[in-house]
Amino acid sequence: MSSPLLPQRVAAVQMISTPSVADNLATAARLIAEAADGGASLVVLPEYFCLMGRRDTDKVDVREPLGEGPIQDSLRAAALRHGIWLVGGTLPLAAPAADKVLNTTLVFNPSGDVVARYDKIHLFNFRKTTDQGVESYDEATTIAPGNTPVSFMAPFGKVGLSICYDLRFPELYRALGEATLMVVPAAFTATTGKAHWELLLRARAVENQCYVIASAQGGVHQNRRATFGHSMFIDPWGDVKSVLPEGEGVVFGDIDLNYLAEARGNLPALTHRVI
């Protein structure tokens, strides 16, 4: 009889990023170290971890070519220093158009090598009138969309990549196929997060019968944008195992392959698909 597989610890970092890239990189390095010290072998940073600018166009000013620049250097160094798999939130990579970026997740292995790149496919567009005025976002003004679903193999299994607004499109997760873990770096607004964040995350875990870890921005930023936070780790049954409502910090979770196999065996929904 084979011995039970040991759980693998993963972690989501929650931040309240600022307009200073240097300050954000220092904060991320500190929280990555906290996650690694807590036993995490894979760490996820939030969307826009490196910059929450005063203007949407600020991200264009700090964009980097693939393989070069202080943001990528910092991520590479952290993965290598702690010997972890690092899902680097998102960073602005150079796009073909001079006035836009690609909102990109890069994944680094424990040797500091890039093993996966995902360019955000679905771009957030939201407008709502409130008592405080008009709340409005349109990522397409400064971001060029990607077009390809991406996953990678970690020691505990397949990991699917997605970013923030992607969460509303279940067909992306189906396209990723059967995965052990789906990751969701995000900067959900306080408005949309309160309404839909946990609901959507739990739905993605249940319908794909996998673990989900979501790393969020969580507070009021210097540009006055309010993000919802609630970084969390969810198991394949849809139960929230850990959550951080607001502020900086780290959320931990354990990938238990024995439990994953049991959940899929008890309710083999993935094998019942006909379309």
Whether 120 is catalytic is yes
Distance CA(210)–CA(234), nearest Å, equals: 9
Is residue 275 assigned to a domain? no
Is residue 274 assigned to a domain? no
CATH number of the domain to which 42 belongs = 3.60.110.10
Total residues belonging to the chain: 275
Tokens of 49: 């971890």
State the pTM of this model.
0.96
* Catalytic, out of 64, 120, 139, 210: 120
**φ, ψ (nearest 5 deg) of residue 194:** -60, -35
Burial 231-240 (b: 16+ CB within 10 A, else e): bbbbbbebeb
Is residue 273 assigned to a domain? no
Distance CA(263)–CA(117), nearest Å, equals: 30
Distance CA(58)–CA(93), nearest Å, equals: 13
Is residue 130 assigned to a domain? yes
**φ, ψ (nearest 5 deg) of residue 114:** -75, 120
In the predicted model, is pLDDT for residue 3 greater than 90?
A: no
pLDDT recorded at residue 2: 45
Question: Do 258 and 6 touch, CB atoms closer than 8 A?
Answer: no
Tokens of 148: 């390809």
> Domain containing 207: what range?
8-267
Query: Could you read off the pLDDT of 204-247 as tens digits, one per residue?
Result: 999 999 999 999 999 999 999 999 999 999 999 999 999 999 99
Could you say which DSSP state residue 95 is in? -
pLDDT recorded at residue 81: 98
Mean pLDDT score, 156-172: 98
Question: Within the chain, where are the H helices?
Answer: 21-37, 58-61, 70-82, 170-176, 190-192, 198-208, 257-266
Give me the residues paired with residue 209 across strands. none
* Catalytic, out of 64, 100, 164, 210: 164
Which of the four pLDDT bands, split at 50, 70 and 90, describes residue 4?
low
Tokens of 122: 């679905």
* Catalytic, out of 47, 64, 100, 210: 47
Is residue 2 assigned to a domain? no
**How many structural domains does the chain have?**
1
| Other C-beta atoms lying within 10 Å of the C-beta of residue 39 | 12
Is residue 88 assigned to a domain? yes
Is residue 96 assigned to a domain? yes
Mean pLDDT score, 62-85: 98
Whether 68 is catalytic is no
Is residue 272 assigned to a domain? no
